[in-house]
């Protein structure tokens, strides 16, 4: 039994429009839809793919979608799945970027952002708990998660260093204490019996997902061409030291050098776009992050906002229609950010598929997943600090934000509400606070 490509594409397209909540929320949605409801892939195969994607630089949720699409329907299945996951958010962010620059900040939009930010805190913490329940099933993994949290929270240790230490612990532990690093479900899990999955634990790796040297060389050559050709065209038209080749090169480095998914990429993008290139201001970047959080698709799609503003603002004077220059900037930023992700999956996927069930490879990845839980928890606290104390320590506390976050957490943890429902309710709460303030003022 297999899923027709047309049916899979309908789901990937739908996912591109409903995947709110950042990478943690998106991975949770993917698990719920593909593992629990549709049974397209088993829990262990899903976690195996997820562990690999978390190892890679770039957006892990988009890479996971590409991986599963590739596993089910060959190379084009992966390319189409990954593209459909990104395309809606690109189009939406181009439109929002134009509205943002053309009409300025509208108070009721700011009120929506005010309501959504506390919900994001709850969503991230909820994701840490969900992933932890699925993957941390003994005290050894709990200590790894706690240590990674303390390492990044207190010592401010870089994410790649945490990953390497966790991998080393997992590699050593897998040989010395293999029972602690096996990829098994939580012993107390109350998961329902949904029946066998289409891609189950014991399903043989399909022919196209097996390692083939000629195919690897071909995919590598195609990826290199897809990088060289556009950047050569941009240099020929605009010149090397101009905006668009700079965007292409900067976001290529961002895609290749920043590990830990979207949350790890954002500080790098902020430093480069604001401090180094001065493509946009600090306040504009913060607004872009808010837009990225409240639109579907990968959180790192904020690069489209950065690219759009860079192109639009640079051509604002002396150009009759800066919109299309902004669109070009958004498309260039998106292309060079996501191209390496497709390369990593199509070239690295066959090697990863050959390792599922092999403890020598899965043990380090199990330890890495535990470490990532600690990092996500730290991110939730980082967001909470900036949302609850918007002016820093010693300033007034935003009690309204704390209340909205508490209600969002209640909806997620107790009532099992979806990410979209929580975001929508929080946005309405922000608007309600704004209306009350206006009426009372």
Where is pLDDT greater, at 153 or 196?
153
What interhelical angle do 419-440 and 22-30 show, nearest 10? 140
Where is pLDDT greater, at 47 or 392?
47
Calculate ∠ Cα 95-272-87, nearest 5°.
30
Share of the chain above pLDDT 70, in %: 88
Where is pLDDT greater, at 188 or 106?
106
Question: Which range (86-95, 191-200, 309-318) has the least confidence?
Answer: 191-200
Interval 233-240 mean pLDDT = 94
Measured distance CA(61)–CA(256) in Å, rounded: 16
Where is pLDDT greater, at 357 or 399?
399
The β-bridge partners of 404 are none
pLDDT in tens, 130-143: 778 877 889 999 99
* Position 429 pLDDT exceeds 90: yes
Q: Does the global pTM surpass 0.85?
A: no
pLDDT in tens, 338-395: 999 999 999 988 988 776 656 566 788 788 878 878 877 887 787 788 789 888 777 7
| Among candidate residues 2, 8, 11, 19, the one with its CA nearest the CA of residue 76 | 8
Phi, psi for 137 (deg, rounded to 5): -120, 15
* Encoded tokens for 253: 């480095």
């Amino acid at each position: 039994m297999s899923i027709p490509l047309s049916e899979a594409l309908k789901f990937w397209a739908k996912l591109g429009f409903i995947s709110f909540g950042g990478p943690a929320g998106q991975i949770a949605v993917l698990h719920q839809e593909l593992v629990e409801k549709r049974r397209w892939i088993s829990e262990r195969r899903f976690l195996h793919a997820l562990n690999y994607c978390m190892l890679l630089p770039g957006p892990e949720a988009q890479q996971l979608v590409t991986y599963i699409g590739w596993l089910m329907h060959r190379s084009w299945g992966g390319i189409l799945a990954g593209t459909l996951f990104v395309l809606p958010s690109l189009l939406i962010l181009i439109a929002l970027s134009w509205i943002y620059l053309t009409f300025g900040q509208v108070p009721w939009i700011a009120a929506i952002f005010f309501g959504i930010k506390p919900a994001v805190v709850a969503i991230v913490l909820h994701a840490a708990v969900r992933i932890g329940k699925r993957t941390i099933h003994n005290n050894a993994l709990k200590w790894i998660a706690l240590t990674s949290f303390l390492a990044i929270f207190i010592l401010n240790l870089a994410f790649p260093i945490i990953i390497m230490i966790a991998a080393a612990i997992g590699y050593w532990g897998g040989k010395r204490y293999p029972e602690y690093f096996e990829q098994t479900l939580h012993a107390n899990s109350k998961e329902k019996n949904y029946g066998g999955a289409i891609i189950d634990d014991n399903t043989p790796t399909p022919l196209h997902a097996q390692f083939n040297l000629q195919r690897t060389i071909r995919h590598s050559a195609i990826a290199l061409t897809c990088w060289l050709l556009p950047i050569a065209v941009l240099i020929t038209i605009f010149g090397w030291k101009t905006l668009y080749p700079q965007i292409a090169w900067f976001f290529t480095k961002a895609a290749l050098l920043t590990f830990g998914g979207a949350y790890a990429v954002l500080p790098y993008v902020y430093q480069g776009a604001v401090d180094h290139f001065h493509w946009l201001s600090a306040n504009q970047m913060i607004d872009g992050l808010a837009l990225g959080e409240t639109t579907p698709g990968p959180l790192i799609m904020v690069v489209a906002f950065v690219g759009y503003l860079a192109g639009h603002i640079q051509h604002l004077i002396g150009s009759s229609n800066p919109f299309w220059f902004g669109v070009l900037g958004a498309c260039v930023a998106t292309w060079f950010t996501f191209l390496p992700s497709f390369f990593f999956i199509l070239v690295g996927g066959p090697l990863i598929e050959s390792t599922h069930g092999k403890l020598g490879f899965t043990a380090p990845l199990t330890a890495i997943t535990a470490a990532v839980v600690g990092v996500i928890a730290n991110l939730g606290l980082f967001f909470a600090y900036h949302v609850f104390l918007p002016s820093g320590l010693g300033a007034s506390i935003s009690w309204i934000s704390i209340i909205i976050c508490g209600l969002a957490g209640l909806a997620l943890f107790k009532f099992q509400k979806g990410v979209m429902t929580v975001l929508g309710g929080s946005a309405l709460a922000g608007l309600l606070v704004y209306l009350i303030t206006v009426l009372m003022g």
